[in-house]
């Protein structure tokens, strides 16, 4: 292992301890392959699975592994083509067994920092799904909540805006413009400082860069 990977492991150990104090379970996986091997045995066959708009979830290999397994009910919001279908999928997501997402940032003290547009992702994080599995590359780690918000606006929002073909300042000029446009992605700021339900939220820190 490189010195950088060794440092990731040391940092993750501290963060996992802090997550435990906040009623969340933490795990460290040195690679995305180890991540898949860690998570798959945790899932009950036949369960329903949903996910937020997460590049980390895709890049980690988890989505492909779940689809290839074939024993889960996959709730894919991208297959909904009408407002009525999207509303139905959101309802199914709220009642799913496992919800996968990433986090825009996670502090050294174990706080989760998320900024959302529609709010469906943070809504599922806060309440609904029986289990929430958060996949976060070590590139998402920040000192504190303030740095987490800055990181999201500087590192996450511009590429997300481009990916979603938005007309927001972050997508057009590469930085946040504090916009109030209809397409604004910064409508909900959610800080998760503690889980009210022990074991519901599991955070998987990965010793690689994942997502934005």
Cα separation, 161 vs 171, whole angstroms: 5
CATH superfamily, domain 3-206, is NagB/RpiA/CoA transferase-like (3.40.50.10420)
51-98 pLDDT tens trace: 998 999 999 999 999 999 999 999 998 888 898 998 999 999 999 999
pLDDT in tens, 134-174: 999 999 999 999 999 999 999 999 999 999 999 999 999 99
Q: What is the pTM of this model?
A: 0.95
| Residues 137 and 55 sit within 8 Å (Cβ to Cβ) | no
Neighbours of 19 (CB within 10 A): 26
Coil, helix or strand for 56? helix
């Amino acid at each position: 292992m490189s010195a950088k990977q060794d440092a990731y492991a040391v940092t993750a150990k501290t963060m996992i301890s802090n997550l435990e104090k906040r009623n969340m379970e933490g795990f460290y996986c040195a690679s995305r392959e180890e991540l898949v091997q860690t998570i798959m045995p945790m899932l009950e066959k036949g369960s329903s699975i949903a996910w937020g708009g997460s590049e980390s979830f895709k890049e980690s290999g988890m989505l492909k592994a779940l689809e290839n397994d074939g024993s889960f009910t996959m709730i894919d919001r991208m297959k909904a083509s009408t407002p009525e279908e999207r509303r139905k999928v959101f309802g199914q997501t709220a009642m799913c067994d496992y919800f996968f997402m990433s986090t825009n940032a996670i502090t050294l003290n174990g706080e989760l920092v998320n900024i959302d547009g529609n709010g469906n992702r943070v809504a599922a994080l806060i309440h609904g799904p029986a289990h929430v599995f958060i996949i976060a590359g070590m590139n998402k780690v920040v000192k504190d909540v303030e740095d987490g918000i800055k990181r999201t606006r500087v590192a996450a929002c511009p590429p997300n805006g481009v990916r979603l073909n938005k007309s927001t300042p972050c997508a057009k000029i590469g930085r946040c413009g504090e916009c109030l446009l209809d397409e604004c992605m910064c409508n909900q700021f959610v800080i998760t400082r503690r889980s009210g339900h022990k074991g519901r939220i599991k955070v998987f820190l990965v010793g690689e860069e994942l997502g934005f």
